[in-house]
Amino acid sequence: MRSLARIGAVAFLAGAGLGCVPKTLYPWGGYDDALYRHYKNPQDRDEFVAKLGGVIDEAEQTGGVVPPGCYAEYGWALYEEGRANDAVAYFAKEGKQWPESRPFMEKLIKNVARVRPAAPTAVPASSTGEEKK
């Protein structure tokens, strides 16, 4: 029984070290905080856009996976800024990184193209998902 207790104690420590203390899958870089501030101070749009861009830069530069939704969120913010071409590029990146997002991203890309048909490079075909912002 003594040895069982010891196994239990070791397992508890292992559990505390591995199972419970979370190591995150993604480098979130304050994504939730950016959203929170955006909802709290919607007028600070520049800060919101910059923070979302920062999440992506940080993840890409450290070799981490850009978290689910972040390319798309940034793309949407750019779209709201009137930067349709950049928006499309980031929607394409989201779709490339996360196959689950593709139907939604394709829809967004189509919508952007429909809303701004006059913009010369707003067509989805021009975005390979590779261009830099």
- Where do contacts with another protein occur on this chain (CB under 8 A)? 1, 4-5, 7-8, 10-12, 14-16, 18-20, 22, 24-26, 28, 31-33, 35-36, 38-40, 67-70, 72-73, 75-77, 80, 94, 98, 100-104, 108
Q: Give the sign of the dihedral formed by CA 80, CA 82, CA 86, CA 89.
A: positive
Residue linked to tokens 């929170």: 36
DSSP 20: I
Residue number with CB closer to another protein (37 or 120): 37
**Which of residues 19 and 57 has its CB atom nearest to another protein in the complex?**
19
| Least distance to another protein, CB of residue 133, Å | 17
**Residue recorded with tokens 């830069």:** 57
114 vs 120 by CB, closer to another protein:
114
- Residue 101 tokens, joined: 């997002």
- Smallest distance from another protein to CB 69, Å: 4
Least Cβ distance, residue 109 to another protein (angstroms): 12
- Give least dist CB 99 to another protein, A: 8
The answer to whether 85 and 121 have CB atoms below 8 angstroms apart is yes
**For another protein, the closer CB: 91 or 122:** 91
CB 38 within 8 A of CB 52: no
Residue 44 to residues 30, 48, 52, 79, Cα–Cα distance (Å) = 16, 7, 13, 16
